[in-house]
């Protein structure tokens, strides 16, 4: 059985939600750990990368509030 994982790091929330400071770094660290554990496919999406919303498949809706 193949194992897949997706990690999404979002630090900057709007509308009065306190920003996080390490979510992007945490997502990267977890992706590395899962890769070391032998997962077959890992997707890492971080909000601070250009085009991060385009990383999601068609039909997936990214909601920013």
Q: Which two tokens stand for residue 4?
A: 């897949």
Instruction: State pTM to two decimals.
Output: 0.67
The pLDDT-based confidence of 35 (bands split at 50, 70, 90) is very high
Strands (E), 1-65: 4-9, 41-46
How far apart CA 60 and CA 65 sit, in angstroms, is: 16
What's the pLDDT score for residue 63? 47
36 or 64: whose pLDDT is higher? Answer: 36
How far apart CA 56 and CA 43 sit, in angstroms, is: 10
Q: How far is CA 16 from the centre of its chain?
A: 22
């Amino acid at each position: 059985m193949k194992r897949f994982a997706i990690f999404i790091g979002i630090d900057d929330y709007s509308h009065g939600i306190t920003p996080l400071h390490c979510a992007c770094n945490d997502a990267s660290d977890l992706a590395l750990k899962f890769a070391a554990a032998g997962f077959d496919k890992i997707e890492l999406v971080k909000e601070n990368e250009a085009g991060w919303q385009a990383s999601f498949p068609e039909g997936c809706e990214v909601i920013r509030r």
